[in-house]
Amino acid sequence: MSILKDKKERETWENFIQILENKLPGFSQMWVTSLEPGQPLFEESENGIFIIKSPQSFGIQVLERKHLKDVEDALFEATNIRRVPKFYLDETIKVKKKQKQTTEEKNHSEAAIRMESLDYMHSVTGLNLKYTFENFVVGENSKFAYNVARMISDNPGQGKYNPLFLSGSVGLGKTHLMQAIGHQILKNFPNLKVRYTNAEEFTNKMVDAIGRSKNTGEVNERMRSFREMFRNVDVLLIDDIQWIDGKKRTEEEVFNTFNALYNAGKQIVFASDRPLSAFELIPDRLRSRFEWGIEANIKVPNLETRMEIVKHYAAVSNFPVSDEVAMLLAKEFSNNVRELEGAYNKASARASIEGVELDVENTSEFLELKEKKKKITPENILEVCSKYFNVEKKEILSTARAKEVVNARKYAIYLTRELLDLSYPVLAKEFCKNHTTIMYQYDKLKRDIQTNKAMQIVTNELTELVKKN
C-alpha cells in the first residue's frame, strides 16, 4: 500500500521519478520506475535521511553506489527539501515496466544493459573483467585453490569453505582467483551483492570516514556509511590482507566486519602474500576467525604450467608463439605469473610493431635476456625484506626490537649468508652488529626452518623475490 496520501504527493513523486530518469544513463533508468517512498514525501526527518524502497536488490546496488548524488539532487528538485536517500529492499512491491517500447528502443535498451553491466562489474563491485575462471590457467601449483574457489562460487557462504584464505607469493594468481569467485557468483546468483577491495583501500576509507566524522561531528553517520559499504554485502573479497598486520584500528574493523558477515551466513574471501602462520602481530581473536575456514596456498607454477600460461596469453591476444618461445619465456621468468605475462606482452608488442616473427632470437633480444641476470647484493636482500615485512631498511639496520623489524632482520641476515656466502665478520659489518649476534641469529633461524613449515615457506618466497629483483 502506497504511503502517498494525496494528489499533490503522488504528482510530486511522479515528478521525482521523471527528473531522476532524465539524470541517469539508459541502463540505470530501468531501476527507477518501481521505486516507492518509505515515508511521507514532505516530512523532514531529524537525521536528514529519506527512505526509498525498491523490489530489486541489484537496482539498489546500482543506484546506491553509482547514482546516489543524482537521487539526492532529484529529490531536492522535486520537493525543495535537501535529504540523503536511504534505500531498503521491499520485495512486496510490484516491479513496474514502461508500457510502450518500440523494437528499436528495446534493442537499444538491451545493448545498453549489456554494456553498462560490464561497467557495473568493474566500477561498483571493484572487479576486473579479465579475472575470470575461463582466463585462469590451472596447474598443480593452483589446483586445490582453484577447486575450492569453484565450490564457493556454486555455494557461497556455506560450510567449511567460509572464510577462504588464499595465500602465496606476489604475482601467482591470488587476485585473479579471488575476483573470478566474484564474477562467477554474480553469474550464478545475480541478486547477490559482491564487493572486492584491498586492505589498503579498506583502511583509507576507514580513515577518511573517521576524519570527516571529526570535522563534521557526524561520527555515527559517517562510520555507519563506511561499515555498511562492507557489511551490507553477500560476498566480501579483501585482497592483500597481510597489509593490516599490526594496524590495530584496521584489525578491529576487519574483525567486526568479519563477525557481522559470518554470522549472517555471507561469504568472505581473503588473499595474502604470506601464509597466515607468518602473521606476527594480529590479535589471536582475529587469527582464529581467519582459521575458521580453509587456507589454500598457490605455489610457483612448474615449467609445464608456465608454458601453458604463455600459450594461453598468445591465444587470447591472437599472437601465437612456438613451443620454443614458450619454453624460453617459461624458463627465464619463473618467479611469478605476472612477470611472465609482462614478458610475453613486451616481446609480442615489439614483434608486432616491427613486423617480425617472435622467434627465440628476437624474444631474447627484445627482453634483453643476455643482460637480464644481475648479481645479488646485500642491498637487494635488504630491499626485499623491507618490502615483505613492511618496515624501513634503516629499521632493519638499527637496534629496534619491534617484532616485525626483528623478523625482517633475521631473514635478511639468513638470506645474505645463504645466497652470498659472506663471512660472519662481513655480515656483522653489513648489518651494523657484532659477529656473535649475527652468528646466533643465523644459526637459530636455520634450525627453526628445519622444523617450522611456515618459516620454510617465508624463506622460499623471499629467496624467489631476491632472485627476481
Determine the topology of domain 133-297 in CATH.
Rossmann fold (3.40.50)
What CATH class does 7-89 carry? alpha beta
C-alpha–C-alpha distance, residues 397 and 414, integer Å? 14
pTM over 0.75, yes/no: no
Strands 235-239 and 194-198: parallel
Cell numbers found for residue 291: 582459521
Answer whether 312's CB lies under 8 Å from 347's CB. no
Cα 449–chain centre separation: 31
Q: Where exactly are the structural domains of the chain? A: 7-89, 133-297, 303-372, 378-468
For 290-349, the pLDDT digits (tens) are 889 899 999 888 889 999 999 988 888 888 888 999 999 988 887 788 888 889 989 888
Residue 89: phi, psi to the nearest 5?
-80, 130
* 3-state class (DSSP) for residue 467: helix
Instruction: Using alpha carbons, list the distances in angstroms from residue 374 to 268, 339, 377, 400, 430.
Output: 41, 16, 9, 31, 20
Cβ-based neighbour number of residue 308 at 10 Å = 17
Cell numbers found for residue 408: 625482517
For 379-395, the pLDDT digits (tens) are 989 999 999 998 999 89
Q: Find the mean pLDDT for residues 407-425.
A: 88
Q: Do 303-372 and 378-468 have matching folds?
A: no
What value, to the nearest 5°, has the Cα angle with vertex 74 and ends 72 and 78? Answer: 120
Share the mean pLDDT of the chain.
Answer: 84
What would the DSSP string read from start to end of 133-196?
Answer: GGGPPP-TTTHHHHHHHHHHHHSTT-GGGSSEEEE-STTSSHHHHHHHHHHHHHHH-TTS-EEE
Of 3.55.50.30, 3.40.50.1820, 1.10.8.60, 1.10.3720.10, the CATH number of 303-372 is: 1.10.8.60
Nearest to 78 by CA among 20, 3, 4, 26: 20
Superfamily classification of domain 378-468 = DnaA protein, C-terminal DNA-binding domain (1.10.1750.10)
For 84-111, the pLDDT digits (tens) are 888 888 877 776 654 444 444 444 444 4
